A and B are shown apart, each in its own frame.
Chain A
């Protein structure tokens, strides 16, 4: 089960399991957002390469518009996945 909650001022909360199927659904929601974004991963239980790809694409799109993406409150396991892919140094993962 995956949910994405869009709040005020670029706050986006990810909840549940961001697998390849969920990443397809989340893609449309994120594409509709502009401006700086803070992705709260405190309740994200799982992420795969599809979720990483979604965050790379979102980062690139926002950067091309002069905006940043912060990924905050990652759990140790989710953070490990970013690190395995070398993304903890390329994206702003906190």
Chain B
């Protein structure tokens, strides 16, 4: 599993995209797959940055390929638990007038990812997502 750590700030998103691009190239996968992997990573990474404000450590992101499946793992250290799989479902029929920021990102991850798992132990939040890449 290839892992790298990123500062917990929005400016890290460009470096995260480069990490994904390098990973795909190393596995001979077309860059077109980066859209889904980037989206999953961005939504979960920004969620960690915003919800775990007490966190001061960099966030670890790991990628692994197994055939057509990519496993994406994010680890946030020394934080309170925040189980993203417990977040309420987002209502896409909600009119614009009632829409507030938040909720939409996790909804997109649920639409795109195949599996999402959350674990919390020793004050480390771990989110593991699998995504089957299109042929």
Name A residues whose Cβ lies closer than 8 Å to a Cβ of B.
1, 17, 19-21, 24, 45-46, 48-50, 52-53, 56, 59-60, 77, 81, 84-86, 90-91
Contacts and interface: CB of A to CB of B under 8 A. Distances in A.
Q: Name the prevailing secondary structure of the A interface residues.
A: helix
Nearest to B101: A53
Contacts of B10: 19-21, 24
Q: Name the prevailing secondary structure of the B interface residues.
A: helix
Contact of A46 (B38, B46, B92): B38
A90 B96 contact: yes
Interface residues of B, number: 26
A59 B108 contact: no
A63 to B, nearest CB: 9
B38 A49 contact: no
Contacts of A77: 35
Contacts of A84: 92, 107-108, 111-112
Interface of B: 10-11, 13-14, 17, 35, 38-39, 42-43, 46, 90, 92-97, 99, 101, 104-105, 107-108, 111-112
A90 B60 CA distance: 37
A48 B42 contact: yes
A56 B35 contact: no
Contact of B108 (A1, A60, A81, A90): A81
